[in-house]
Structure 1
Amino acid sequence: MSTDPLFQPYTLKHLTLKNRLMITSHEPAYPEDGMPKDRYRAYHVERAKAGVALTMTAGSASVSRDSPPVFNNILAWKDEVVGWMRAMTDECHDHGCAVMIQLTHLGRRTRWDKADWLPVVSASHEREPSHKAFPKKVEDWDVARIIEDYADAAERMQQAGVDGIELESYGHFMDQFWSPLTNTLDGPYGGDLDNRLRFTFDTLRAIRKKVGDDFIVGIRYSGDECLPGGLTKDDGMEVSRRLKDSGLVDFLNVVRGHIDTDAGLTDLIPVQGMKSAPHLDFAGEIRAETKFPTFHASKIQDVATARHAIASGKLDMVGMTRAHMADPHIVAKILRGEEDRIRPCVGANYCLDRIYQGGMALCLHNPATGRELEQPHDIPKAQEVRRIVVIGAGPAGLEAARVAAARGHEVIVHEAANDPGGQVRLTALTPRRQEMISLIDWRFQECSRMGVTFHFNSFADEETVRAENPDVVIVATGGLPHTEVLGEGNDLAVSAWDILSGDVQPGLNVLIYDDAGDYAGLQAAEKIAATGAKTEIMTRDRSFASEVMAMSLTPSMRELQKQDVTFTVTWRLDDVRREGNGLLATVGSDYGGITRERQVDQVVINHGTRPLDDLYFELRPNSSNLGEVDYEALIDGRPQDIVRNEEGGYQLFRIGDAVAARNTHAAIYDALRLVKVL
């Protein structure tokens, strides 16, 4: 038996979990018609196959019709959910992985104009800042029906064969009773702590009446809301003791904080540039106080921290949820002695941020996550070895090289710079985003391990490429900043890249015109504002940094507000001209003939990139496909067979920003789905 603390079995009631690693409840927004169908099942089964002991689904499954999901959640109030959950559970069980599901009523954490347009309900009329619906204050008949809904949903899950359920009690309906900030009811469900907890215990008793005493029931809750007037740490300890002593729950899954604002949610589930495992010690205190099964997850992204959490007795089961989105095979790699090959979570939060904007969760680092039905996590070998030349060692080029090498091809990479990384290396110069370099380091390490040949400081031209005698050429040269957006004065502006790279020093009074809305503008603003310069960010959009999603925006906002940066929306930079020793910027509006002026000493423009594609067009005439991509084949996962030039000596493709300015995920997704069938 392994001596690794992570691989000691753990017995929870009648259930023996084969190791201490779990995936906590989360909703990747993969359901179809509210059901966990094939995409959902494939996502969880991939992680079960790799050896995780427990996977928890749904964050959270809705128990009531008046709890409409604000993004794509499982509808646990529908009877048809039983069959879909059983199919997923059975397949995970085939791999020795236990399955649980989280159930909830969202209360005020939703909107009234979703689904059936029923009133939002809560323990007060207080609106949640994030979702903005003013709730109806709950009545006795609401309480009775929602308790019954919880019990019915639990029974459905028991019928589906899941190993247990977890109730969600932070920011949702249940916690809205707990917190003095969101409960203005009179007795029996409002007032002192006994009354505020009554709904929870009434619900738990109703569930036990339906599912019996043997079925596993736990609760995920905030042990400290970290809000003035909210539940305190002392309150959380008392709640923890009462939950244990009730005999109605089998485990505690502890979080710390609140989720009613973007900033609060981000502190509870930290993102890139924030402290790792910030609430682990707090969860350990609850376990020490209660001596009761305790689970926890919150930016525990590396195996060493997870191992420490178990070895030190802070937790019984440790959640590595986003880490398993980045690499579903963590457990298998540890068992094979390949811990150093785990694809690291970089905290980019492309998963959570996307679902809160209505998309499905994707991993910036791993384009196969959520696409298990279409894209492989393990790359299949090719039947025929080919010679593949990749131009550019940014994220797109490195992914193309990695996948090609995994296919068994001979791979040569030419990179103009001293080091791999492309735009990511520039991004990682900002201390708060330095984790991004792991995207590059991991791919470079994998390529080196598989024998990819790299030529750095090699500004490849057509002659260089043709001298390699390639079968396939993949151009991943990225792009360069585009700043030619002004009617007058383009030569007087600098790019966000100029600031980030250090090629241009920040001015004293700076106008940043952000017409791309991505990270580069924000990072330039942070660097400029940190010098003490007067800084204004301007955008023609209704909101600034529109491509940086809510949770990822939080750390930037804290820095920029601290430096008193000015945010100006709905205005457009038109012209810049010299005036004395400074610059006069003229700004206009898409809304009508209004102009204003700004006197500054520096104008910074962030307008994305334009493809660096000269080499691609030089290589096209001698390629067999003339650079053409069969999109149907690309989407269906079939090889590229287009021939437009019988005399062509190689296939030619371009990927990433060498095609058009997009993002890192798009670049590596381009590479994976193209090269996996070469």
Structure 2
Amino acid sequence: MLLRSQLRLACGITAPNRLLFGPHRTNLGSAEGRGLSAEHVAYYHRRAAGGAGVVVTETASVHPEDWPYAQAPLASACPQGWSAIAEACHAEGALAVAALGHAGAQGSSAHSQAALWAPSPVPDAVTREVPKAMSVEEIAAVVTGFADAARRAARAGMSGVEVDAGQQSLLRQFLSPLTNQRTDDYGSPDRCRFVREILRAVRTALGPGRVLGLRLSCDELADTRGITVDAASELARDVHADLTAAGGLDYLVATRGSGDSLAAAQGSRPDGHGPTESATPLAPRIRAAIQPEVAVCAQGGIVDPEQAEGLLVEGSAEVVEMTRAQIADAELGTRLHGFAPDAEADSPGPRPRPCVLCNQHCRVDYPRAPAVSCMGDPSSGHETDPEEGVVSLALPAPPAGADRSAPGTVSGPRQPTPLTEEATGTCQPDGNGTPDEDTASPAPPAQPVEVLVIGAGPAGLETARVAATAGHAVRVVERADRTGGMLRVAAAGHGRHRLARLADWLHTECEQLGVTITTGYTAADRDIDAQLATGGAVVLCSGGRPGRIGYRVGAGVRRMDDAALLGLLASGAEPPHGPVAVYDRVGGPVALSIVEELAAREVAVTLVTPDHAPAMQLAPVGALSPAALRLARLGVPVQRRQRVLGAGNGRIQLEGVHTGEVCEVDAAVLVDCGFRLPADQLWHGTRLGMDRAGDVIAPRGVQEAILDGRRAAKRLQEVRLW
């Protein structure tokens, strides 16, 4: 497998494999010192230990006035963190590369309380803020900032640096005719001068034997108005030639997009609605334009090992970035040692936990600013949290009287562990071996317990998986004829088919661990009584049920809840006939996926929402605008700011939530995408040995269900009194 083969870079350093973990926002840092926390160290160490060949850290700003988000690292505050990361990653054989950048007009003035810097006063397409056109002196200060940051990274022991000229960077803004309208030496006809000066300064500051990477937006998806592939190819060739005497470029990551187009915003982090390998066609074109000693890295939604291996085999790239895939499975690189790209899904051996392209927890650039995480692996981003029991690092507590405002601390509900001199370089897992969710699960019990798990949704399967890993004898019963629960149901919606992969993975893992799974069985109180009578344990994971609807439905209209409709589609049955109204009371992805699926099947469908726009809950993860565009292309009518009053005689009666005005729409079927309630009929909280997990506690998302399952399995280790 080429993905596992070594890669010799031009600087003389060899990467152990061709798998790259790219820079991304984590919110693991500090809003005060702007340094790198112990959480950062644990996060990157886990990926290095999990088999990543190159680990690129979160982009650090090279100038203090560039403060794009609250926890954005500042290069001058990062050396201590870089040193700890370098030592941790190098101990695992991985390269540790520091990403350096400046967000320019795509940053934020809220934290710095200063005007944004940009080549020209062009309003940002997203924030609409007008930046300040940089003076020549300010340009020189940024060049110096890059050089100083590179020097600090090298002294800290990092393998090298990656210069950010990607989608969200000041360098991209200088390269693009859309945002650089200058007429001086840094504008037309030589918009590349700024980037060349930075790369020269960085290469000189690094010295010999250090890696220099470049992340380059090679296509802004703006026709010929912005950066094109041809222009990017010429720039890459010229830049490398310019640096040859000093050591040249070692690798180049070919990305696409910017903040200036809707298509680019979606293309930079694709979801299940489009091709996952969004930017990979760029890599072979860039590779053909530059010298063979520059390793070209393919990037853009590559989440499956088959994809990555195919790109290397066909010669499109020398390196593959699989960032989201390694958030979903930190041990991806290690698992690849026992993985054959053409293996069946149920073949023996460790298979990577799949990335489902949901963008719900790995994309954290929204106001609540949670730590980066993953739907399928809630421990991602929480590697130092003892409550998760997944990875426990030997990072000592700060000494008494330590300055809490030092780099690596943060104010607010989540307190990243500050890095201290004692903590630097001590980021080894407790015990021996590679830290992963299996080895770091609860230790095998002294007396294995017989466990009955009722329900084989994500909470039930994860409970069974972790409990079986810990040595318990586990039996799962499921009322439906397949495992997966709501994961399997939701996968029937348009653009959400990859959710079934997570259900398949959980099922296969349980089978390989010896879990007994019985489907088509409805558990009752007698099953619980019999299990507890023998000293066993019961974990109830029976999921949720439809909640109250709050309106009347008369003859002439068929009402279905969202799960029933998706179950119908999943079974292969024909969709409902006649006009369909989908009532989205939640504002999430479920109703949207139903509408798109019905429209794709040429069913006349209307979306009704009490909100100002459909699927408002998608806004935090950047999916609202693409969703609106898809609905417009499908021609789906949307009734905004409306609630359902009642239904009957082929009509749905609506009321304006603000105006109180009443109107009607034609509908033979009303699909209610409403809130759910716990299906807790079997829950008896007073029984010793009985626990619960997932929607039966409170209906929430998949990540919460999986996290509940892990915690329920962990509680099986506690002292038992029966």
Instruction: Flag whether TM exceeds 0.5 (same fold).
Output: yes
Rounded to whole Å, the distance in 2 between the matches of 1:175 and 1:620 is 58
1:351 touches 1:363 (CA, 8 Å); kept in 2?
A: yes
Which has the larger displacement, 463-472 or 217-226? 463-472
2:267 touches 2:279 (CA, 8 Å); kept in 1?
A: no
Structure 2 residue aligned with 1:642:
none
Residue 223 of structure 1: how far off its partner (Å): 1.7
Residue 531 of structure 1: how far off its partner (Å): 4.5
Residue 558 of structure 1: how far off its partner (Å): 4.3
Rounded to whole Å, the distance in 1 between the matches of 2:196 and 2:384 is 41
**Paired residue secondary structure (1:412):** strand
Which has the larger displacement, 594-603 or 479-488? 479-488
Structure 1 residue aligned with 2:222:
227
Structure 2 residue aligned with 1:564:
635
Q: What CA deviation, in whole Å up to 9, does each residue of 1:446-484 have, x standing for no partner?
A: 111111111211110011222334522111111122251
Structure 2 residue aligned with 1:497:
563
Rounded to whole Å, the distance in 2 between the matches of 1:11 and 1:232 is 27
As a proportion of its length, which structure holds more helix?
1
Output the amino acid matched with 2:196: F
Structure 2 residue aligned with 1:654:
692
**Structure 2 CA distance for partners of 1:9 and 1:340, relative to 1, 3 Å:** same
Residue 177 of structure 1: how far off its partner (Å): 0.9
Q: What CA deviation, in whole Å up to 9, does each residue of 1:87-122 have, x standing for no partner?
A: 12111111211100111110111222x212111121
Structure 2 residue aligned with 1:612:
679
Structure 1 residue aligned with 2:666:
600
2:107 matches 1:110: yes
Q: What CA deviation, in whole Å up to 9, does each residue of 1:474-526 have, x standing for no partner?
A: 11111122251337879964322333233894464444321111222112211
Rounded to whole Å, the distance in 2 between the matches of 1:583 and 1:217 is 64
- Alignment partner for residue 456 of structure 1, among 512, 515, 519? 519
Structure 1 residue aligned with 2:237:
241
Q: What CA deviation, in whole Å up to 9, does each residue of 1:125-151 have, x standing for no partner?
A: 222222332212222232122222222
Structure 2 residue aligned with 1:527:
597
**Paired residue secondary structure (1:547):** helix
Output the amino acid matched with 2:200: R
2:144 matches 1:144: no
Q: TM-score, normalised by structure 1?
A: 0.88
Rounded to whole Å, the distance in 1 between the matches of 2:119 and 2:607 is 40
> Where in structure 1 are there 5+ consecutive unaligned residues?
625-650
Rounded to whole Å, the distance in 2 between the matches of 1:472 and 1:154 is 56
Rounded to whole Å, the distance in 2 between the matches of 1:190 and 1:54 is 34
* Superposed counterparts of 1:276-425, under 5 Å: 276-290=276-290, 291=292, 292-336=294-338, 340-357=350-367, 358-374=369-385, 375=388, 376=390, 377-378=437-438, 379=441, 380-425=443-488
Rounded to whole Å, the distance in 2 between the matches of 1:127 and 1:151 is 28
2:128 matches 1:132: yes
Residue 298 of structure 1: how far off its partner (Å): 1.9
Rounded to whole Å, the distance in 2 between the matches of 1:339 and 1:318 is 23
2:4 touches 2:16 (CA, 8 Å); kept in 1?
A: no
Which has the larger displacement, 518-527 or 176-185? 518-527
Structure 1 residue aligned with 2:419:
none
**Paired residue secondary structure (1:108):** helix
Residue 219 of structure 1: how far off its partner (Å): 0.9
1:481 touches 1:606 (CA, 8 Å); kept in 2?
A: no
**Paired residue secondary structure (2:184):** coil
Residue 9 of structure 1: how far off its partner (Å): 4.1
Structure 1 residue aligned with 2:8:
10
Residue 214 of structure 1: how far off its partner (Å): 4.4
Which has the larger displacement, 173-182 or 526-535? 526-535
Structure 1 residue aligned with 2:152:
156
Structure 1 residue aligned with 2:68:
69
Residue 662 of structure 1: how far off its partner (Å): 0.7
Output the amino acid matched with 1:174: L
Q: What CA deviation, in whole Å up to 9, does each residue of 1:15-51 have, x standing for no partner?
A: 1112222212222221133222111111111121223
Rounded to whole Å, the distance in 1 between the matches of 2:276 and 2:647 is 47
Residue 612 of structure 1: how far off its partner (Å): 0.8
Rounded to whole Å, the distance in 1 between the matches of 2:473 and 2:349 is 26
Rounded to whole Å, the distance in 2 between the matches of 1:205 and 1:151 is 9
**Structure 2 CA distance for partners of 1:572 and 1:54, relative to 1, 3 Å:** same
Structure 2 residue aligned with 1:50:
50
1:227 touches 1:258 (CA, 8 Å); kept in 2?
A: no
Rounded to whole Å, the distance in 2 between the matches of 1:611 and 1:275 is 36
- Alignment partner for residue 216 of structure 1, among 208, 211, 220? 211
**Structure 2 CA distance for partners of 1:293 and 1:574, relative to 1, 3 Å:** closer
Output the amino acid matched with 1:561: A
Structure 2 residue aligned with 1:20:
18
2:475 touches 2:517 (CA, 8 Å); kept in 1?
A: yes
1:413 touches 1:455 (CA, 8 Å); kept in 2?
A: yes
Output the amino acid matched with 2:191: R
**Structure 2 CA distance for partners of 1:11 and 1:446, relative to 1, 3 Å:** same
**Structure 2 CA distance for partners of 1:181 and 1:4, relative to 1, 3 Å:** closer
Which has the larger displacement, 663-672 or 42-51? 42-51
1:489 touches 1:575 (CA, 8 Å); kept in 2?
A: no
Q: What CA deviation, in whole Å up to 9, does each residue of 1:139-198 have, x standing for no partner?
A: 223212222222222222122211111111123110111111111111211112xx2001
**Paired residue secondary structure (2:9):** strand
Q: TM-score, normalised by structure 2?
A: 0.83
Structure 1 residue aligned with 2:393:
none
Structure 1 residue aligned with 2:541:
476
**Structure 2 CA distance for partners of 1:459 and 1:476, relative to 1, 3 Å:** same
2:656 matches 1:588: yes
Q: What CA deviation, in whole Å up to 9, does each residue of 1:337-379 have, x standing for no partner?
A: 6765221222222344333453221111111111111331122
Q: Relative contact order, CA 8 A, sep 6+: which one is greater?
A: 2
**Structure 2 CA distance for partners of 1:567 and 1:67, relative to 1, 3 Å:** farther
Output the amino acid matched with 1:347: L
Percent identical pairs in the alignment equals 28
Residue 8 of structure 1: how far off its partner (Å): 3.0
Q: What CA deviation, in whole Å up to 9, does each residue of 1:503-552 have, x standing for no partner?
A: 89446444432111122211221133334455433333344313335444
1:346 touches 1:439 (CA, 8 Å); kept in 2?
A: yes
Residue 418 of structure 1: how far off its partner (Å): 0.5
Structure 1 residue aligned with 2:720:
none
Output the amino acid matched with 1:249: L
Output the amino acid matched with 2:637: T
**Structure 2 CA distance for partners of 1:434 and 1:577, relative to 1, 3 Å:** closer
- Alignment partner for residue 189 of structure 1, among 186, 190, 203? 186
Structure 2 residue aligned with 1:628:
none
Q: What CA deviation, in whole Å up to 9, does each residue of 1:623-659 have, x standing for no partner?
A: 12xxxxxxxxxxxxxxxxxxxxxxxxxx222211111
Rounded to whole Å, the distance in 2 between the matches of 1:525 and 1:333 is 38
Rounded to whole Å, the distance in 1 between the matches of 2:277 and 2:35 is 32
**Paired residue secondary structure (2:253):** strand
**Structure 2 CA distance for partners of 1:4 and 1:152, relative to 1, 3 Å:** closer
Rounded to whole Å, the distance in 2 between the matches of 1:111 and 1:105 is 11
Rounded to whole Å, the distance in 2 between the matches of 1:532 and 1:429 is 16
Q: What CA deviation, in whole Å up to 9, does each residue of 1:238-265 have, x standing for no partner?
A: 1121122111533211113334455422
2:217 matches 1:202: no
Residue 52 of structure 1: how far off its partner (Å): 2.0
2:611 matches 1:541: yes
1:155 touches 1:211 (CA, 8 Å); kept in 2?
A: yes
**Paired residue secondary structure (2:124):** coil
2:176 matches 1:175: no
